[in-house]
Structure 1
Amino acid sequence: MEERVNPVPRGALGVLAATGVVAVLAGVALTGSAAAVLVGDPGAVVRWGLPVVETLTELAASLTVGALLLAVCVLPRRTSAAARTPGSDRAAADGSAYPRSLVLAGVAAGAWTVLSVVHLVLAYASVAGVPPTAPSFGDELALFVTQIDLGRTLLSVTTVAAVVTALSLVVATPTGAAWTAALSLVALWQLGQTGHAAGAASHDLATSAMVLHLVSAAVWIGALAALAVLVRRLGADVVPAVSRFSVVAGWCVAGVAVSGVVNSVLRLGGWEGLQTRYGVLLLVKIALFAALALLGLAHRRATVPRLAGPRGGLLFWRVVLVELAVMGAVSGVAVALGSSPPPVPDAPVTDTSPAYVLTGHALPPEPTALRWLTEWRWDVLMACAAAAGIVVYLRWVRRLRRRGDSWSWVRTASWVTGMLLFAWTTSGGPSVYGHVLFSAHMIQHMVLVMVVPLFVALSAPVTLLLRAVPARAAVLRDDASRGPREWVLTLVHSHVGRFFAHPVVAAVNFAGSMVLFYYSGLFEWSLRSPVGHLAMIVHFTLAGYLFVNALAGVDPGPTRPPYPMRLLLLFATMAFHAFFGVALVGGEGLLVADWFGLTGRPWGVSAIRDQQIGGSVAWGIGEIPTLALAVVVAVQWTRDDERTARRRDRRVDRDGDDEMDRYNAMLARMAEDDARR
C-alpha cells in the first residue's frame, strides 16, 4: 500500500491557502469593501491584508481541528496482529500516522496563534481607522483588547490557540486529543460571536447558525487537509481512515448547508438581496459549495472502494487536490462575505422597548394554549441535534431489521417523542416565553429534566448503539481507534461515568443542582449568555437521563439498586421537588429581579406572582412525570418477579425443587424432635 500512495503532491496545503487568498481578494474587489475611505483610512495594507490574514487564520484553525479529529475518531493506532478481531482479513494497523496527526495539530495551532496576533492588530487598525504605524497605536491597542468586546474576544481566541498548541504537542491518547479539540471548538464558538452574527437583528439565531457553520466547515476542511498531509504515513490504514472521514464529511455537509441557509436568509432580507454585490458573491459561494458536496459524494462512492487497488494513490489525489482547491475558494469567498456589508444592515434595531433592550427580542404576545404551540424562535444547534438524533436512531433500527434482529416499536416511538419534545422545549413556546416569564422558564426546565429524559431513557439509545454499530464497524475498529461505540463504552466504564451514573449520586445531582442553579448566579448567567443557556440545557437533560436510567432504564452503566431502594430514591426526590416548589410559592423575593422585573409586560400577572406560579409548576407539574416513573419502576419490579418465578419453575421442572425438599426435611426433623421431647 505504501507504494500506491507515494505520488503525493507536496504543495497540498499551498493549493488550499493559495486558492483561499485568490478567492478572498477577488471577492473583496467585487464588493468594494477594501476601497479607500476619505476619513479614518487605515491604509491599503490593512484594507487588503485583513481579509487575507483572516482567511489564513481560519484555514490554520480548521487544520488544527481537523488533525485533532483524526486522532480522536478516525486514524488507526498501532496494534499487534494478535489484538485484532479474529477472522479479520485486513492487515495489522500501521498506526504511524496517529502520532503525526498530533504533531500536525500542534504546528497548525502554532500558525493559528501567530496569525491570530496579526489578525488582532489589523482588526483594530480597521475598526479604529488608524494605521499600525501611528505613534499611539500600541496604547490604543491595549485599550482595545481590555475594554472592547471585539478586542477581548480576539485576544481570548489567540490565548486559546496558544494553549491548544501546547496541549497538542503533549497529549498522546484519543481522550487527550478530544479535550484539546473541545478547547479549540471554544475558540470557534467565540469567533461565531463576531462579524455579521454580532448584529442586533436575530442575534441568537445568527450566532447559533454561525457557530454550526464554522464548526462544520472547520472539521470538513481541516480533516481533509490533514489527511492530505498525513497520507504518506497511512500505508495500509488509508482505506479505513478515508472511509471514516467520509462519514464525518457527510454530516459536515449537512451542518454547513443548514446553517448557510439560515445565515443567508437573515443577511439577504429577501430575494431582491441576491441582486446586490453581496448576493452575487453569495451565489458564487453556493455554487462552489454544491460542487464541493458533489465531489465529496463522488469521492465516497467511486474513489474510496478503489483505494486498495494499484492506482489508489493516484485516484485519491486526483479528487483530493480538486476538493482542497474548491475548499480554499469557498473559505476565501466566505471571508469576503464577512468583510462586506450585507443587504440587511448590522445597525442596531430601533426597538427601545424594555423587553427588547433586555432580551434582544421583541416582547411576545400574551400566551394562550394555541400560542404555546405556534410561537417559535429557532435554536439552530438544538433543532439540528434533535433532527440528527431522530435520523441516527432510525438508521440504527433499520440496520438491525435488515440484519434480521427486532427492535421494539415502543422504544422507537419513545425516542422520536423525546426528540420532538426536546426541539419544542428549546425552540418553541417554552423557549419564547421562558425569557420573559419565570413560570414559562420553569415549564421548560421541568420538561428538560423530567419529561424528555424519561422518553430518552426508555428508548435505550446506548443499547441500540451497541447492537447496531458492530454489524458494520467491528472489522474497521480492530485497530485501537475509537468510533461511536468505543467512545460510548469508554465513557460508560470510566471512573467519572460510573460515579455520576451511580443511583445515589444521580439522585443528588438531579435534585441538588436545581437549588444550586436557581439560588446562585448560574440562573442569571443562563438568561444573559447563549453559552450559559446551552450549558443549562445540556446539564439538566443529562442529569435527568442519568437519574431515570439509574432507576428504570435498560442502558448499561449504573449498578442499579433493588427495587425498594429505587422507589425510596424516587419518592425522596419527589419530596425534594415539592419542598422546592413550596419555597417558591411562598417566597416574596424575586429571583433575578433586574431581569424578570424589567420586561415591561402589559399583560399577565406581576413578576412575583408569576414566580409563585412557577413554584406551583415545579411542585405540581413536576410530580406527574415522577409518578409516571414510579409506575414504570413498579411495573418493572412486577415483571422481574414474574421472570424470577418462571426461571425457578423451569429449574424445578428440570432438576427438582431441592430448596423445597431441604425445607420439608428441616420441618420433619423439627417435628421428630418435638415428638421425642
Structure 2
Amino acid sequence: MNNSRNTVATATPGETATGNRRLWPLLTLPALGVGVLVLIAASFFAGTARASELGDAGALVRWALPAAKALHHSSMAITIASLVFAAAILPRSTRPKRPAPGEHNTDGGQTHPAFARTMNLAAAAGSLWTVSAAAVLIFTFWDLVGQPMSTDPSYTAAMLDYVLNISVGKAWAWMIVIAAITSSLAFGVRSPGWVGATAVFSLAGILPMSLIGHAAGGDDHWGAVNSIMLHLVGVCLWFGGIVVLAALAPLLATKAPGRFPGARPILAGTVLHRFSALATIAIVLVAGSGVVNASIRITGWDQWMTPYGWLVIAKAVATLGLGALGLAHRRRVIPALEAGKLSATRAAWLVVGAEAVVMAAAMGLATVLARTAPPTPDTAPELPTPARLLTGYELPPPLTNASYVEVWRWDWLWIAIVAFLAIAYLWAMVTVRRRGDKWSILLTISWMVGLGCLFYFTSGALAVYGKILFSVHMVDHMALTMVAPLFLVIGSPVTLALKALGSRTDGTRGPREWILVLVHSKFSALVTNPLFAAANFAGSIVIFYETDIFGLRCATTWATS
C-alpha cells in the first residue's frame, strides 16, 4: 500500500491470495477457543454446571442450553451486523454512478465482493439463528420441567402448552419466526431499500429476549426491559460487527475490482472509520445499560462478592478493555493504515483479532451470567397488590401538586433516545458553524426544550400516574403528541442534519442518504400531508378508545409499556 489515502491497496509480499484465504480462520479460531473456555470456567464458578437440587434435567441439558444460547446470541448478532454493514457501510457495486433524471439504478459494474460476502454471511448466520433459537426453546422447556429429556407422548402436550401459554416459551417461539423471516429475506433481497428494511426488521429479535431477560421481573420491570433492550442493540452491533470485519479480512490486501471515487482497501480507511463510529455508539449503549442492569440486580456492596457480582465485574472489565482497544485503533491503527505505515493484514490482526478474543470472552461471561441466580431476586411478592398485577409497579404516593416535580420513574429507552438526539444535534450545529455557516440559536433552544418535554413526559410524574389514572394518562398522551413535537419540529433537525452530514460518493447509503430516501419516499409524503395527519390524529383516538382495542391493551402485558 502506498502513502496515498485514496489509492487501492495491492497485495504486499507475504499477503498472497492463499494467505488471505487463511486469514479468516486464523482470526476467528482463537476467539472461539477463548469463548468456549470462558463459558466452561464461568459455569463451574457460578455453579450452573452442577445438578439442581429441586429438579435436574441432566448433564446434557445443563451444558447444551448455555451452548445453544451462546450460539443463538452470536448468530443473531452476526446476522444483524451483516445487514447493517450491507445497508450502510459497504458499497453495493464496483462502479456506482449517479442516476440520470428519472433513473433509479445507481449501480454499474459488478456486485461488490464485500457486499456479496456480507449478504451471504447474513443468510448463513440467519439460518443458524433460526436453528439455534429452536434448540434453545427445546432445552429451556426441559430445564423448566426439571426431568431428563424423554420421548414420552405426555411431554408433547406439555411443550405445546409451554409455547402457547408460558411467556418464555412464547418469546422463543416468536424468536424462531423472526429469525426465519430475516434469514429468508437475507437470501433473497439485494436492493438497497430492501436490505435496509431487512436490517431494521432483524432488530425485532431483540424484543423477545429483553422481555424474558434477567431483571425483567424485578421491581422496575420496564426499566429493566428497556435497559436490556439497549444492551442487546449495542452488543449485536459491536460483537457482530467484529465478526463481519473478520469475514471481510481476506479482502484486505486485494485490489477492489473496478475503481470508484474514493476507493480504498476493503475494511481499511473509510470502512474502518464508519465501523468505529458505530462501535462508539454501541459501547456507550453496552456500558450505560450494563450499569443500569447491575444497579437493579445488585443492591448492596456485599452482593458484589457473590458469584453473580464477580461475573458482572469480569464482564465490566472485558467491556472496558474493548473500549480501550477501540480507542487505540481509532487513534493509532487506522491513521497508520491510511498513511501506509501498517500492512492490511497487520491491521486486521490488530483491529479484528484482538477485539474478537476479548469479545468472545465477554459473550461467554454474559451467557453464564444469564443463568446465574442474582443476589437480589426478581420474583414478584407472593401476594402482589392489584396495582402491581396490572402495571408491574406498586401505587405511587397520592397525587399532589408537589408530585409533578418529585415523582419520577426512569424510562431508560427514552432517556437513551433523548440523550442521543441532544448530542447529535449539538454535534451537527458545531459542525455547521465551524464550516462558516449560520444556525439560529433559537432553533437549538426549541429542539432542547422539545427533548426536555419528551424526557419529562416519559419519565416524570405524568408517565408514573398515567398508568393508574386515566385523566393523567390522557394529559400525558396529549402532551406527547402535541407539545413535544411542536418544539422538535421548530428545531428543524432534518435541515440541520443534511447541512452537517457529508455526501458519500462510493455508492453506499450513509445517514444523509437514508434521510433523503425517507424524506422523499411516498410514505413520508403521505404521513406529512396535513389532511392525513389530521385524520390520523383524531381518528386513531376514536378508534382506540371507543372500540375493544383499548380493553385488549389493558388485558395484556403491553398495557404497562
User: Normalization by structure 1: what TM-score?
Assistant: 0.74
Secondary structure at the aligned position of 1:404 is classed as: coil
Q: What are the Cα deviations for residues 380-435 of structure 1, in whole angstroms up to 9, with x where unaligned? A: 11111001110000011111111111110000000011001101101111110000
Asked if the contact 1:522/1:532 (under 8 Å) is kept, the reply is no
- What does residue 120 of structure 2 align with? 103
Post-superposition shift, 1:533? 6.9
Q: Which runs of 5+ in 2 are unaligned?
A: 1-8, 100-108, 257-264
What's the CA shift for 1:178? 2.4
Give the distance between the partners of 1:22 and 1:104, measured in 2 at CA. 25
Runs of 4+ with >4 A deviation: 4-8, 81-84, 524-534
Shift of 1:529: 5.8
Aligned-partner SS, 1:421: helix
Work out the CA distance in 1 between the residues paired with 2:148 and 2:478: 54
| Cα pair distance change 1:153/1:439, threshold 3 Å | same
Match of 2:90 in 1: 75
Shift in CA distance, 112/459, structure 1 to aligned 2, threshold 3 Å: same
Instruction: Map Cα deviations across residues 257-298 of structure 1 (whole Å, 9 max, x no partner).
Output: 111001000111122210111111111111111001100111
| From 317, 326, 345, the counterpart of 1:296 | 326
My pick for the range that moved more, 191-200 or 455-464, is 191-200
Question: Is contact 2:97-2:507 (8 Å) kept?
Answer: no
| CA distance 1:524–1:186, shift in 2 (3 Å) | farther
- Tell me: CA distance 1:373–1:38, structure 2 relative to 1, closer, same or farther (3 Å): closer
Give the whole-Å Cα distance in 2 for the aligned partners of 1:296 and 1:94: 30
Displacement after TM superposition at 1:517 (Å): 2.5
Correspondence for 1:514 among 541, 544, 560: 541
Q: What corresponds to 1:435 in structure 2? A: 467
**Which consecutive unaligned segments of at least 5 residues does structure 1 have?**
85-91, 535-677
Match of 1:491 among 493, 498, 518: 518
Given the superposition, is the C-alpha separation of residues 526 and 298 from structure 1 closer, same or farther in structure 2, using an over 3 Å criterion? farther
| Closer/same/farther in 2, CA of residues 399 and 93 from structure 1, 3 Å limit | farther
The structure 2 residue matched to 1:204, chosen from 218, 222, 240, is 222
Higher helix share: 1
Kindly indicate whether the alpha-carbon contact (under 8 Å) linking 2:189 and 2:195 is maintained by their aligned counterparts in 1: yes
Aligned to 1:62: 77
The residue number in structure 1 matching 2:201 is: 183
Task: Say whether the 8 Å CA contact 1:121–1:132 is kept in structure 2.
Answer: no
* Cα displacement string for residues 126-184 of structure 1 (whole angstroms, at most 9, x for unaligned residues): 11112223534444323322232211211111121111111100111232122222332
Q: Distance in 1 between matches of 2:217 and 2:166?
A: 16
Q: Which residue of 1 aligns with 2:3?
A: none
> Higher relative contact order at CA 8 Å, sep ≥6: structure 1 or structure 2?
2
Contact kept? 2:96, 2:506, Cα under 8 Å:
no
Pick closer, same or farther for the CA change 1:511–1:16 going to 2, 3 Å.
farther
**2: CA distance between counterparts of 1:39 and 1:460?**
60
Q: 1:221 to 1:465 in 2, by over 3 A?
A: same
How do 1:3-82 residues align onto structure 2 when only pairs under 5 Å count? 3=11, 7-8=19-20, 9-11=23-25, 12-78=27-93, 80=95
Matches within 5 A, 1:182-261: 182-233=200-251, 235=256, 236-238=265-267, 239-261=269-291
| Distance of 1:460 and 1:529 partners within structure 2 | 38
Match of 1:143 among 161, 169, 178: 161
Q: Which amino acid aligns with 1:387?
A: A
Aligned mate of 1:392, from 424, 431, 442 = 424
| Structure 1 letter corresponding to 2:144 | V
| Counterpart Cα distance in 2 of 1:213 and 1:524 | 32
Aligned CA distance change for structure 1 residues 529 and 396 (closer, same or farther; 3 Å): farther
CA–CA distance in structure 1, aligned partners of residues 10 and 553 of structure 2: 52
Secondary structure, counterpart of 2:240 in structure 1: helix
Aligned to 2:450: 418
Instruction: Please report how far the alpha carbon of residue 510 of structure 1 lies from its aligned counterpart in structure 2 after TM superposition.
Output: 2.5
What aligned pairs does 1:455-470 form with structure 2 within 5 A after superposition? 455-470=487-502
Residues 391, 530 of structure 1: CA spacing in aligned structure 2 closer, same or farther, 3 A cutoff? farther
2:190 counterpart of 1:172: yes
Structure 1 position 81, deviation (Å): 6.7
1:273 matched to 2:297 = no
One-letter code aligned to 1:153:
A
CA–CA separation in structure 2 for the residues paired with 1:31 and 1:271: 19
Paired position in structure 1 for 2:259? none
| Offset of residue 62 of structure 1 | 0.5
Amino acid at match of 2:506: D
Aligned residues: CA RMSD: 2.1
Q: For residue 225 of structure 2, what is the amino acid of its counterpart?
A: T
1:40 CA drift (Å):
2.2
CA contact (8 A) 1:55 1:335 kept: yes
Taking a change above 3 Å as real, the CA distance of residues 148 and 283 of structure 1, as seen in their structure-2 partners, is same
The code of the aligned residue for 1:487 comes to W
Bigger CA drift: 226-235 or 205-214?
226-235
Q: Distance in 1 between matches of 2:76 and 2:171?
A: 15
TM alignment of 1:580-659, pairs within 5 A: none
| Residue 223 to residue 466, structure 1, CA distance change in 2 (3 Å) | same
Distance in 2, matches of 1:81 and 1:112, equals: 32
Paired residue secondary structure (1:197): coil
Residue of structure 1 equivalent to 2:170: 152
Equivalent position amino acid for 1:502 in 2: N
Offset, 1:530: 6.9
Q: 1:554-573 maps to which residues of 2 (within 5 A)? A: none
Among all aligned residue pairs of Structure 1 and Structure 2, give the percentage whose two residues are the same amino acid: 35
Secondary structure of the structure 2 residue equivalent to 1:262:
helix
Between 50-59 and 146-155, the greater mean CA deviation after superposition: 146-155
CA contact (8 A) 1:20 1:55 kept: no
Q: 2:390 matched to 1:358?
A: yes
SS across alignment from 1:307:
helix
Instruction: Out of 96-105 and 300-309, give the one that drifted further.
Output: 300-309
Structure 2: distance between partners of 1:252 and 1:155:
27
2:428/2:500 contact within 8 Å kept: yes
Change over 3 Å in CA distance of 1:312–1:436 after alignment to 2: same
Distance 2:332 2:549 in 1: 51
Deviation string 1:512-541 (CA, Å, 9 cap, x unpaired) is 22222222344456556676776xxxxxxx
The CA deviation at 1:299 is: 1.1
**8 A contact 1:61–1:108 mirrored in 2:** yes
Over residues 584-615 of structure 1, what are the superposed CA-to-partner deviations in whole Å (9 max), with x where a residue is unaligned? xxxxxxxxxxxxxxxxxxxxxxxxxxxxxxxx
104, 127, 138: which one aligns with 2:144: 127
Q: Cα gap change, 1:168/1:533 in structure 2, threshold over 3 Å: closer, same or farther?
A: farther
Shift of 1:508: 1.9
